[in-house]
Amino acid sequence: MRPLEVEHIGGELAIRWDDGAEDFILLEKLRRACPCAGCKGEVDILGNLYKNPDKPFATNSFELARIISVGGYALQPVWADGHNTGIFSFDYLRRVATAK
């Protein structure tokens, strides 16, 4: 499954998938779901989670500067506050989109 079209519309990311589904993801929800090690922490081989304390978001943390497509399997949002280390695989993106 992969997105055919990704569009940044106002405060949302609109995605049209190749199975015909369409999702609108609030940018705030997308940012909060950032899967990078800095946001989500890293799990070691014994299952211990190492995570930085939550940093407060800035006012522009939920603004999307641009979005980069990564190797045909993921999207990498560049946020207006400079954060850009989160790589959202298409599967993960779909899960974020459909999560309540």
Question: Please, what is the minimum distance in Å from the beta carbon of residue 51 to Zn ion?
Answer: 11
CB of 38 to Zn ion, least distance (A): 5
Q: Which residues bind Zn ion (CB under 5 A)?
A: 34, 36, 39, 86
Q: How far is CA 15 from CA 23, 30, 81, in A?
A: 5, 12, 23
The H or E element that residue 68 is part of is strand 64-70
Q: Which is nearer to Zn ion, 21 or 69 (CB)?
A: 69
Gap between the Cα atoms of 5 and 21, Å rounded: 11
Min dist. Cβ of residue 20 to Zn ion (A): 30
Q: Which residues pair with 79 in a beta bridge?
A: 64
Nearer to Zn ion, 3 or 86 (CB): 86
